[in-house]
Amino acid sequence: MNLFIRAARIVDATSAHDGQAVDLLIENGLIRQIGTDLSAPDGIRIIEGDNLHVSAGWLDMRVLAQDPGFEHKEDLTSVCRAAAAGGFTDIALLPNTQPVIDAKGALGYVQRMSDGLDARVHVLAAVTKGAAGVDFTDMIDLHHAGAVAFSDGTHSLQNPDLLLKTLQYLQPIGGLLINQPEEATLTRYGQMHEGIQSTLLGMKGIPALAEEIAVERDLRLLAYVLEDSEESTGDRPSALHFSTLSSARSVELIRQAKAQGLPVSCDVAVHQLVFTDTDLAGFDTNLKVNPPFRSAADVDALWAGLADGTIDAIVSDHTPQDAESKNLEFDLAEFGIIGLETVFAALMTHNRALPLSLLIDRLTTRPRQILRLPATHIAEGEPATLTLFDPTQSWTYAKTRSKSHNSPFLGQTLTGRVLGTVVGGHFTVK
């Protein structure tokens, strides 16, 4: 589809047109012309708006699609529709399906079934068979088959020897290990953040210490692997990525590790920037997540980590759960929130004066760098991979394109609206 985007303000630090309001002519999937007061060709579809902004296409590094195995909660078609509605041209899928994505056959299924959908799919393959934390997968084989990184996804790697050997195994191919930091022996039967609120509500707590111990352990293992390597400092890509940080101490540990030159990166789930443990007073199971919402001081530290560059990426941590998994007593309900459609709106509604350009960077440039994916640029002759949005427009999140409805934002009026995406020559309008 050919498009003419009129008077759109570019948000792309890598573009010569950054900050400018320009017209873009897109033909056959390429940006053919950028300029001011361009003439739209006859019959072409025109996209315009009072406060139209355009950036490189957004990438979500942490999405659970539930396909294959749990398609009643989400399938690849519905998750890509939700992604496009949320402004994402690309998503990285966790391996926690049934079967787990731990072999080329399972990887190939996702690649085939996602071809031509509303968002491009990148696959994180499992580190261990069945994501069970015991036996290694053939990561080299999976790497050559197209896996962009390796992770046991929702299952944290508990065995330090296994994590150490994974880092060593991936080092020659420049592979990336993604781990959700959690010491499981400290979180068993936990329901929410351990603190005054969990005591008041009478629920078993999940201490921030469980995350912080895992972060510190993994950083020391990474340093051990690299201590004799000439590549242990400098601008080499991240070798270890921490997913869904929630604790102030975790942010500080990674800040120190980066200052020491360790090739490490991290992300935060957008809902961790919005809610605290006090929001669970009503026992809303849509607010039951792992890691749990923590204290206001932790939320402050997460925003500060975004501001100073310690936190590299913002993710949805999209985890679809059906009604049977959520309409239960709080301690019986499953963890997880759907979030693909509300990442940008949650950021803008609750933004703490961070520049728009910084937030867009955490959704575009940095995630692509971390996953070793090709950069996208808003320049003439480049493929058109774009997200269109209005950062000030209010809208009501009345329905979802996901098969599941476990979102605390449903029914809320939010600020910051996605208007559409352009990817692979296809325009998807919200």
Give me the active site residues, please: 317
Partner residues linked to 414 by β-bridges: 395
Distance CA 239, CA 170 (A): 8
Assign residue 412 a region: left if phi > 0, alpha if psi is -120 to 50, beta otherwise?
Answer: beta
User: CA angle, corner 246, sides to 245 and 251, nearest 5?
Assistant: 65
Is 279 in contact with 207 (CB distance < 8 Å)? no
List, in sequence order, every beta strand (DSSP E) within 291-403: 313-315, 386-396
Residues forming beta bridges with residue 149, ordered by sequence position? 124
Query: Is 200 exposed, middle or buried (CB count within 10 Å of its CB: 0-12, 13-18, 19+)?
Result: exposed
Cα(248)–Cα(306) distance, integer angstroms: 12
3-state secondary structure of 400: coil
Lookup: tokens for 46:
């025109």
**Which amino acid, one-letter code, is at 162?**
L
Partners of 122 in the beta sheet? 92
CA distances from 184 to 210, 214, 260, 361 (A): 7, 9, 28, 33
How far is Cα of residue 344 from the mean position of the Cα atoms in its chain?
Answer: 12
CA-to-CA separations, 325 to 74, 316, 329, 403, in angstroms, rounded? 13, 19, 10, 13
Query: Tokens standing for 33?
Result: 């012309």
Other C-beta atoms within 10 Å of 357: how many?
A: 13
**Nearest residue to 236 (alpha-carbon basis) of 372, 367, 330:** 372
Comparing CA positions, the residue from 355, 352, 362 lying closest to residue 314 is: 362
What the block records as the tokens of 193 is 């953040």
Cα→Cα distances 402→55, 76, 165, Å: 24, 10, 37
